[in-house]
Each structure stands twice: as C-alpha cells, then as structure tokens.
Amino acid sequence: MTGQGLYRHSLALLTDLYQLTMAYGYWKTRRLEQLACFNLMFRDNPFNGGYTVTAGLEEVIHFLNDLRFEEEDVAYLGKLMGADGKPLFEIGFLNYLQELEFCCDVDAMPEGTIAFPNEPMLRITGPILQCQILETALLNMMCYQTLIASKASRVCLATRGEEVLEFGLRRAQGIDGGLAASRAAYIGGCGATSNVLAGKLYGIPVKGTHAHSWVMSFDSELEAFEAYAEAMPNNCMFLVDTYDTLEGVRQAVAVGKKLRDKGHDLLGIRLDSGDLAYLSAEARKILDEGGFADAKIVASNDLDEFIIDSLKRQHAQVNVWGVGTKLATAFDQPALGGVFKLSAVKNPGEDWEYKVKLSEQTVKISTPGFLQVRRYQDKSGFIADMVYDEHLGAEEQPTIIDPNDATKRKRVSTNPPHEDLLVPIYRNGEQVYDIPSLSVIRQRVQDQLSALHPSIRRFLNPHTYPAGLEARLYDLRTKLILKARGYDENGL
C-alpha cells in the first residue's frame, strides 16, 4: 500500500493538473509511443551546506507499485470542465488512464547517498505520457525527505556523536509531513522519534515521558514526579523546568533515590528552556552529587545545528538533544528546489534526440542525455563526481567541467576507483531493486559522510566539492545551447 499502509488506495491523482492536461495532449496528438527521458535533480545544496543526503526513494517505489487510475479517479476527472463549460477530458482519454499500466525504466541513487547540485537523483525513461504524469509525485516524495535527511545529518554532526531525538510532529507540515520528517530524520542520523505512528510504520525507536501539563496538574512538582515514578518506574526522565529549573533537578534526584530503593533508576532530566549551557552544567553537578552520574541530561527548546554547535563550544553538559520544529520544518529553507527536466525524446523508428532547456539564468539551463553520476575516490575518501551520458560513455581519465563556469575544471588523471551512483530500480515497469532496511540506509549516510573531507561538512562557508559534467557531455550541451539560440557550433 502507498505510504507504508497509511493510505488505502492508489495516489494516481497526486499530481498537478497541468501534468494531466499535457498527458491529454500527448494522447490527443497520438504520441503514445514517443519515449522520453527525464532527470530529477536539485540546483543548490540546502541550508547553504556543502552536501545533500538523498531520501524518499522507498516511498516512490510504493507509490509506483500501487499506481493505477481507479474508477473514482476517472469519474472525478470526467467532471472537470474547460473554459467553454464542456468536459476538459474526452471519455476515450479517461478510459485510457483507467487501463494504464506503468512500464517505465527507473534508475536512482540509493537512499542515504550523498549528492551534489546538478546530479540526477533519479532518472526515468519510458512513454512520455507516463513520465509526465509522475513528475509532481516524484518531486514531492523525494525532495522533502531529502531536505529533512540533510537537515538531520547536520544536526547530528553538531552533537559530535551524541544522540538526537526527533520531536517535530506537533510542528510539522501536516500528517504526511510529520511522518515523512520522522522517517527522513532517522535516515539522517536521529536515534529515535516522539512520533508513535512513524514508529509503527517504519520501525523507528520511539521515546518520550511527560510534559509541563503533567507537572502543573499536581499541587507540587515533587508530587508530580512521585506520581509519574509510581505509574512508570521504568521510564523516568523528568522535565524539570516547569517552575524553578535547578530546584526541579533536586526534586528529580529525591525521587530518583526512592526509585533506586525499589529496584529502578532515574534515567535523567530534560531541560526545555533557559540558558542551556549554564543550567546543564549546574544540573550535572546536582545529579552527580546526588549519586546519579549516569543520569542523562536531555536538552530541547528550538534547537538546530548552529545552536547545538554553540552550546557544545560552551561545554554544555548535555547528553541527548531533542530537536523538533527546526528539524521537521527544515528551518530555514522550506523547500529543496528540485527540478524534473526532459533530456531526450525518441519517436518510433528514429534515434534518440537530445533536448536542452534554455534560460537567461545559466543555472537554469538543463543538461541533455541519459545522465549517470560517477564518483571517484581514493584512500582519503571521495575526490570528485562526474555526470556523464551513458550513450556517449566516459573516458578513463576524464575532465570534469562545472556546468555553470567552464573555467572550473578537474582532471581525473590517476584512474582511481569509482562507482556509478544511479542503480536500476524498475525495468519495463517491474521492480528489480530490493529495498534496504532503514538501518542499512541510515548507516549508508554515516559511511558516506565519513568519506567527505571535513571542510565540506562544516556549516559555515563549506568547501565546494568537485562535481560537474564530463567534457564530451559538456561539449554536446554547449552545441545544443548554441543551436537553440540560432548559432552554429562555432558560435557564429
């Protein structure tokens, strides 16, 4: 089922209307046998960072496996009217949609892969009508989770190995956003979530104890802690800042001693307001002096990678970090800015024709071809990425050219080990890819991050990782741009 069981029917209508109007146009002009290649990518790393963590592919696979236009879907489309008051779509087109069977080839980067701007995260080849219908859903599913996984990885890097809990459900962008955020945050490195439904659907560890309202419902903070300890002696992490924070820590210690007498233990305390650097240091002293050196201090309160990094530099005595709003909402970048661009078409009996989209902005000019990403590495880690066309191939010692600045080039001259990042997901509509577990995907992120130079992982002014187009692909792109602008291949 689509959405790991959250939804009970196909989501074929999860698309923009203009995708369907174009599909109708392809049907109406008898272009059903025309093949096309589209590439899904992004133009800039999010959060002004140096890298991006891909996510969302599993959701895409579930979506494609369930793809079908059901009777109620086409009935709805049949009620849509054009400007003349007549049906927008002919009944023949609606019947075609209801009988449609997905038959495309899909190649994609496995989830948890580190990617860079202008690299295809996914490539789809097949009937142009099908590819067009899928554009919106593919962008929706991949770009948001990629954004959140990237944010989570940054937050986790800031803690220097300390556990991060994702607390974002209540501030997330709706039910779907909350679930997708919890999944992507776990991929990016978070150790657990407060989102119980995400725990059920995805197998993510869930954690949580009590809120300020629990404490406020009693006559005293001590009474509230004692009551909670009586109810859940195996889950005692007390929120101590409802009134006086440090006094709350002392109350937690007092209840912790009673817990210990009964064979249980105080797991720790949570700080949700105030000067976290100062309060955590003072709380640590109180806990240690009370005999709870192993009790953890959890910090929350609108945290992100920059605040956590600052607190670490101030030697905050925090063991676990609860990050909610700024993680689940991808603060302060609400969208990845993914694009889905046509790169080649083929009519029956003809050769593939490469396509390029022009723009007054260089960064928005597309790249033609059947794009693949080759990553080179040595003993130190990743050294360069090259986007090349599978039909043109790649030289053993290629030159990689920045698509936005031809003066930026890197020569790969030592023939180092390499890996092609896009792997087969579907062939002729049949899934050929085994979906890895979330734990495997999560570990892939950590392995890939460790292969990046620290200068690329830093938060402020990260080093730019060498990534660009293979020289022959760059030349082909340039010729197509010149041709589209009315020049010959010499620019005349």
Mean pLDDT for the stretch of residues 440-455: 98
What span, in angstroms and rounded, lies between the C-alpha atoms of 419 and 7?
Answer: 36
Mean pLDDT for the stretch of residues 35-53: 98
DSSP track, 383-404:
EEEEEEETTT---SS-EEEETT
Q: Are residues 346 and 478 in the same domain?
A: yes
Domain, as residue range, for 272 = 209-318
- pLDDT for 259 beyond 60: yes
- Per the structure, the count of domains in the chain is 2
Q: Are residues 381 and 313 in the same domain?
A: no
What span, in angstroms and rounded, lies between the C-alpha atoms of 41 and 123?
Answer: 9
- pLDDT for 491 beyond 90: no
Q: Are residues 64 and 129 in the same domain?
A: yes
- At 267-293, the pLDDT tens digits run 999 999 999 999 999 999 999 999 999
Q: Are residues 425 and 293 in the same domain?
A: no
Please give the pLDDT value at position 467. 97
Mean pLDDT for the stretch of residues 307-327: 98
Q: Are residues 26 and 67 in the same domain?
A: yes
Q: Are residues 431 and 296 in the same domain?
A: no
DSSP state of 158: H
- At 121-158, the pLDDT tens digits run 999 999 999 999 999 999 999 999 999 999 999 999 99
**CATH at 471:** 3.20.140.10
What pTM was estimated for this model as a whole?
0.96
Q: Are residues 280 and 344 in the same domain?
A: no
Q: Taking a C-beta distance cutoff of 8 angstroms, is the pair 212, 300 a contact?
A: no
Q: How many CA atoms lie within 13 A of 51 on its CB side?
A: 31
Distances, alpha carbon 275 to alpha carbons 35, 76, 242, 246, in Å: 60, 55, 14, 12
Q: Are residues 290 and 244 in the same domain?
A: yes
pLDDT band at 2; cut points 50, 70, 90: very low
The reply to whether 157 falls in a domain is no
Residue-averaged pLDDT of the chain: 96
pLDDT band at 369; cut points 50, 70, 90: very high
pLDDT band at 1; cut points 50, 70, 90: very low
The reply to whether 329 falls in a domain is no
What span, in angstroms and rounded, lies between the C-alpha atoms of 394 and 424?
Answer: 19
Q: What does the block give as tokens for 189? A: 């490195």
Length of the chain: 492
Q: Are residues 377 and 424 in the same domain?
A: yes
What span, in angstroms and rounded, lies between the C-alpha atoms of 327 and 338?
Answer: 19
Please give the pLDDT value at position 438. 97
Please give the pLDDT value at position 8. 61
Please give the pLDDT value at position 4. 54
The reply to whether 67 falls in a domain is yes
DSSP state of 323: E
- At 168-212, the pLDDT tens digits run 999 999 999 999 999 999 999 999 999 999 999 999 999 999 999
Please give the pLDDT value at position 415. 80
Q: Are residues 290 and 347 in the same domain?
A: no
Q: Are strands 467-470 and 381-389 parallel, antiparallel or unpaired?
A: parallel
CB atoms within 10 A of CB 168: 28
Please give the pLDDT value at position 142. 98
CB atoms within 10 A of CB 380: 8
The reply to whether 347 falls in a domain is yes
DSSP track, 215-231:
HHTSSSHHHHHHHHHHH
